[in-house]
Chains A and B, each alone.
Chain A
Amino acid sequence: MAEHQEDVHEVHRHPAPTGFIRKYIFSIDHKVIGIQYIMLALAAVIVGMIMSLLMRLNLSWPGTSWPILETLFPTGAPGGVMTPEFYLSLVTMHGTIMVFFVLTTAPQGGFGNYFLPIQIGAEDMAFPYLNMLSFWVTLVGFIVILLAIFVEGNQSLGEAFTALGPSFAGGSGTVGPIGGWTGYAPLSTLGKIAGPGQGAGMNLWVISIAIFCVGSLLGALNFITTLLNMRTKGMSLMRMPLTCWAWFTTAVLALLSFPVLLGGGILMLLDRIAGTSFFIPSGLYVSGLLSGTNPNFPLHTGGSPILWQHLFWFFGHPEVYIAILPGMGATSHILATFARKPVFGYRAMVFAIFAIGLLGFFVWGHHMFISGMSPYSAIAFSVLTLSIGVPSAVKTFNWLGTLWGARIRFTTAMLFAIGFVSLFVAGGITGLILGQSSLDLPMHDTYIVPAHFHLVMGVASIFGMFAALYFWFPKMFGRFMNETIGRIHFWITFIGVYTIFVPMHIMGIVGMPRRYSSFTEYRFLDSLHPLVVLVSVAAIVTITVQLLFYFNVFWSIFKGKKVTNDNPWEATTLEWTTATPPPHDNFAGVLPVVYHGPYEFAVPGAPKDYIMQTDTTAEVPSGNGHNGKH
């Protein structure tokens, strides 16, 4: 079939590897790397979930003894009762692991890696070795953050780290650093003297994030180059599936925002280890010590803690779009496929994704309204933040327009995609409230903030991933996931997350502060305790149901219903034209040629209700005007 193979020299092409290690472990195949990223996220999410479970247990039943905790963390939970420090380190590690190693790895590194090259008709990523490197660097980052649990949780291990220097000492009985996923200075820059978790745990936290930045940058570079350079014949930009647009925009955001965090992380590490004062202000008095009066707390002058916040949130806000944009892409893709209709307003969707990405760089200040900010800056940040509502609304209405009047096929993937739209609206609407400085001032650091971002960036992204996994699983493993279990999983998760996060809005408006380990000493919050218990029960149920999901994934890989046809969902894009699972070079030696837009469903006059992108027989040239020609 391929008559011109010999005359083209290729630097990066290799025959399919045969050994187990080259095939599945140190693989340069983007599909294997994608699955590795997904597996990393599936492992990381368990750690993060257990931590959220422990937090809920402590919030609703404070003072209860959990004997297993005493066995594992004798200093962090004496008598099995969590100390406030232990709780705070759970908050930090839960946030860090979830944001970096789940919400950033699976949607982009996982599904993006697997399907971006196939969907644009490429045989691999532009730089396969770099791709492998980015996964392994990310994995090292994950191992380093896990080390923080042991180094801080285990007394003797923590003391062994003292040999590296006073700021490296661990063993304070926490499960890592204390500082939230934002690691605000100056607390995070002072080292051991600032309290539990501030020694080894915080060092490992900064190092892990710096490593993660490098891994993400390599990945983003690869995604962008691949998309620009490797599209097959006929795959014009406006014929790309919206998933590719989402992954591309995400890669651009990662490329431009992670270096800023890396720079901030280097400054923080220097403050911690080299004794500089980038973020540490003058005259700091911490733990009974004044800066400069004690050998353990050398003199620091003139640093700016707000500077860290600026650097962090300049990265941090794009980061939340890095988490959610791939979910938006997958949702658009899946909605169109199962609604059997073209995506409503394809061009508008593309521009909306880009608008969200672009605006995401100019709104970081809305995280800092109470950090001391000129009211004029606050107004500017507010207006820019609210303007993100416009492209977001464009996307939402276009999703609804896609569903409008459709004969919907309610597969599990479709249910999760619709769930994504629901959660995005429910969580996004409070973004409009919190984005206004006047409303944010009273609501900041209350439960409405976690309620908002968990719905819109946490759970919605996770729903996007669930939808993507149920949708693409047949292509990835040649077997379907079980639909019955899938539906049970969907409904309980869907109702569960709303039961968890809607009451949190109420708590926030009442004034319940976030990050407190318990509320036993605040009379005005006593009446909320039943709600706290309700949230915890809902969380326990929702987490338990995820076991069903895990069972479904691993059972279906080996025992699921076999795929009999390369295009079981009757979808249109390139991944459904190739074998199942796709061969090493994706298209078995012959790259596809694209003639159609990505979502030509229900084209009038066409023989079937969908036209594949590679279809050469369909007489109707362009169903909906988004193949780049008019």
Chain B
Amino acid sequence: MATMVSTRPVIQKGAGGGPGMPGPNGNGSKRGPFREPDSRANRYRIGMWVGLASIAMMFTSLSSAYIVRSGTAADWVPLRIPRVMFLSTALILISSVTIEVARRKLKQGFTERYSRYLLLTGILGVAFLGAQIISWRQLASQGIYVATHPHSSFFYLLTGAHGVHIAGGLLALGVLWLRSRRKSGNSPGFAATRQATADAVSIYWHFMDGLWIYLFLLLILWR
């Protein structure tokens, strides 16, 4: 994607705020022109927040179903949450720290360390998924499956849905990591875009961390 012929339109020069004209932003506008690279790169952050709103709504719907189902049913059997989940919780908490370090290293210009912390985050993410799968297998070995009782259904559903989102995040981390190792980017928009994508992925990762804490507490406490 690096060698792109840029045909992007450019704001007409000298337009705006002529004599007697209502300038688009007035003189000395605080917002500045719209199409600066920083502003353009901002789309990744905006898009990520917008996307997270929809992910939040999906988990809201699932957890409201969880709460309704737990309240109406006589067949509710609380599950013993596998111990290994505490390990996975610790892993994802640490990974949130490492991705934040990565993001800041990039901001300070330490691209090597940025790359290394991305890799570390990715490893922690894979370990998290591994721990989740181990906990699934532990339950399965006790004979507890998706359809065993409502709490187990929700357990597999919520951890599974969260795991799918983590897998998506790992994919994004992988792309960032591969790109961080590539030496390119002399154009002025490159740094802004790279920072914005790194920010967007880290926002996502923190959100998934927080979401996991929420789901974990829901599964442990609301039963």
Contacts and interface: CB of A to CB of B under 8 A. Distances in A.
B181 interface: no
A288 interface: no
B55 A259 contact: yes
Contact of A616 (B4, B21, B35, B69): B21
A11 B4 contact: yes
A460 interface: no
A6 B161 CA distance: 44
Interface stretch (B84-92, B112-120, B124-132, B187-195): B187-195
B175 interface: no
B207 to A, nearest CB: 14
B43 A229 contact: yes
B8 interface: yes
A301 B8 contact: no
Contacts of B24: 233-236, 593-595
Contacts of A259: 54-55, 57-58, 61
B33 interface: yes
A8 B50 contact: no
Interface in B2-60: 4-13, 15-16, 18, 20-25, 33-35, 37, 39-40, 42-43, 46-47, 50-51, 53-55, 57-60
Given A123-B9, A264-B61, A229 B189 contact: no
A585 B54 CA distance: 29
B198 to A, nearest CB: 14
Interface in A576-612: 584-596
A622 B22 contact: yes
B1 interface: yes
A8 B61 contact: no
A618 B100 CA distance: 52
A458 B72 CA distance: 37
B62 interface: yes
A578 B189 CA distance: 27
Interface string A256-282: 111110111011001000111110001
Given A11-B193, A234-B24, A590 B9 contact: yes
Contacts of A301: 73-75
B217 interface: no
Contacts of B157: 266-267, 270
A17 B72 CA distance: 57
B1 A11 contact: yes
Contacts of B47: 126-127, 221-222, 225
B50 A224 contact: yes
A256 B9 contact: no
Contact of A263 (B65, B75, B190): B65
A4 B9 CA distance: 9
Contacts of A256: 53-54, 57
Contact of A8 (B6, B22, B185): B6
B50 A225 contact: yes
B11 A591 contact: yes
B43 A2 contact: no
B147 interface: yes
Interface residues of A, number: 78
A9 B61 contact: no
Interface residues of B, number: 61
A596 B22 CA distance: 8
Contacts of B62: 263, 266-267
B5 A15 contact: yes
Contacts of B222: none
A277 B150 CA distance: 7
A6 B6 contact: yes
Interface stretch (A82-90, A158-166, A302-310, A442-450): A302-310
A282 B150 CA distance: 13
A230 interface: yes
Interface string B147-182: 100100100010001000000000000000000000
Contacts of B43: 126-127, 225, 229-230
A521 interface: no
A627 B22 CA distance: 9
Nearest to B6: A10
Interface string A118-160: 0000010011000000000000000000000000000000000
A217 B10 contact: no
Given A11-B1, A302-B72, A260 B10 contact: no
Interface string A294-316: 00001001111001001100100
A168 to B, nearest CB: 17
A5 interface: yes
Contacts of A123: 8-9
B48 to A, nearest CB: 9
Nearest to A617: B21
A282 B55 CA distance: 32
A11 B189 contact: yes
Contacts of A584: 7
A50 interface: no
A278 B61 contact: no
Contacts of A264: 61, 65
A231 B34 contact: yes
A229 B1 CA distance: 22
Contacts of A262: 58, 61
Contact of A275 (B1, B74, B146, B188): B146
Given A302-B75, A616-B18, 9 more contacts: A229-B43, A233-B33, A258-B54, A259-B61, A278-B150, A282-B75, A303-B150, A590-B11, A590-B12
Nearest 3 pairs of A and B residues by beta carbon: A234-B24, A9-B189, A9-B187
7 contacts: A10-B6, A259-B61, A274-B153, A275-B146, A595-B23, A621-B20, A621-B21
Interface of B: 1, 4-13, 15-16, 18, 20-25, 33-35, 37, 39-40, 42-43, 46-47, 50-51, 53-55, 57-62, 65, 68-69, 72-76, 146-147, 150, 153, 157, 161, 185, 187-190, 193
